[in-house]
Amino acid sequence: MDLQVEYDNRARVPENPAIIAGWQRDAAAFRATWAEAELGIAYGAGGREKLDLFRPGPGEDWPVALFLHGGYWQALDRSFFSHMARGMLARGVAVAVPSYDLCPQVTLAAITDQMRAAAMLLHRRSGRRLLATGHSAGGHMAAMLMATDWRARDPRLPADLVPAGLPISGVFELEPLLPTSIGAGLRLTPEEARALSPRHLPSPGFPLHAVVGGAESGEFLRQTRDFAAAWGGTAEVVPGLNHFTILAPLAAPDSALSRRAAAMALAVG
pLDDT at 269 (0 to 100): 80
Enter the DSSP assignment of 176. G
Q: Put residue 240 in one of left, alpha, beta given phi > 0 → left and psi -120 to 50 → alpha.
A: left
* Alpha carbon distance 246, 139 (integer Å): 13
Q: Which domains does the chain have, with CATH numbers?
A: 3-268 (3.40.50.1820)
Q: What is the pLDDT along the chain (269 residues), one digit of tens a residue?
A: 899 999 999 999 999 999 999 999 999 999 999 999 999 999 999 999 999 999 999 988 999 999 999 999 999 999 999 999 999 999 999 999 999 999 999 999 999 999 999 999 999 999 999 999 999 999 999 999 999 999 999 999 999 999 999 999 999 999 999 999 999 999 999 999 999 999 999 999 999 999 999 999 999 999 999 999 999 999 999 999 999 999 999 999 999 999 999 999 999 98
- Residues 228, 83: Cα–Cα separation, whole Å: 27
- The whole-angstrom separation of Cα 66 and Cα 241 is 23
- Name the region of 259 (left: φ>0; alpha: ψ -120 to 50; beta: rest): alpha
**CB neighbours (10 Å) of residue 176?**
19
CB 16 within 8 A of CB 10: yes
Q: What letter represents residue 70's amino acid? A: G
- The CB-side HSE value for 96 (13 A sphere, CA atoms) comes to 34
Comparing C-alpha atoms, which of 121, 223, 115, 204 is closest to residue 165?
204
Whether the Cβ atoms of residue 69 and residue 133 lie closer than 8 Å to each other: no
CB 145 within 8 A of CB 119: yes
pTM above 0.85, yes or no: yes
Angle, in degrees to the nearest 10, between helices 137-146 and 108-126: 60
Give me the pLDDT at residue 168, please.
98
Q: Where are the alpha helices (DSSP H) in the chain?
A: 3-7, 9-12, 16-33, 86-89, 108-126, 137-146, 150-153, 181-186, 190-195, 218-230, 256-268
